[in-house]
Amino acid sequence: MNREEFVYRYNEIFQGVPWYGTSLLESLDKVPLNFWNKKPYEGARSISEYVGHLVNWRKFVIEKLKSNKSFNIEMNTKEDWGDEVIIENKEAIDRFLGELKDTQYQISEMVLSKNEEWCGQNVPGKTYTNAYMLEGILQHDIYHLGQLNLINSQLKRLK
């Protein structure tokens, strides 16, 4: 996958028409305000927690695109899942989605500014390539998009 193909696929998942269903923004637009903080069962995560998690990993990619060798996220830590965000009104959703959109724009622009050789180079401080990281963020967004849609449908049934 080259840089342009990545950005095309990344944007399609985010706000386009992916072959498997709705995009991330379209799916989040369908979430009622009162569902953002709810959990379908004890021990589950909320939609706001998943969106925060997506933002955290996008920030990881941004730091690596900036060649920040020391930046890291350990799985199942505060850096991975962040602080719980409580969504209380439409303005809070807009701010939260604004942060998600900002990471989308930054990653797309930064990837396009790189040369093709960059894709085969290792991520600063890691043993995998930049191309592998980019494929990973695509898969990460799709994986959690499915979970977001599942939570939304579970909460509708509990209503």
Model's pTM, two decimal places?
0.95
Closest of 139, 30, 137, 156 to residue 93, by C-alpha: 30
| Rounded distance between C-alpha atoms, residue 24 and residue 148, angstroms | 9
Which amino acid is located at 44 in the chain? A
The tens place of each residue's pLDDT in the chain, 159 residues long, gives: 899 999 999 999 999 999 999 999 999 999 999 999 999 999 999 999 999 999 999 999 999 999 999 999 999 999 999 888 889 999 999 999 999 999 999 999 999 999 999 999 999 999 999 999 999 999 999 999 999 999 999 999 986
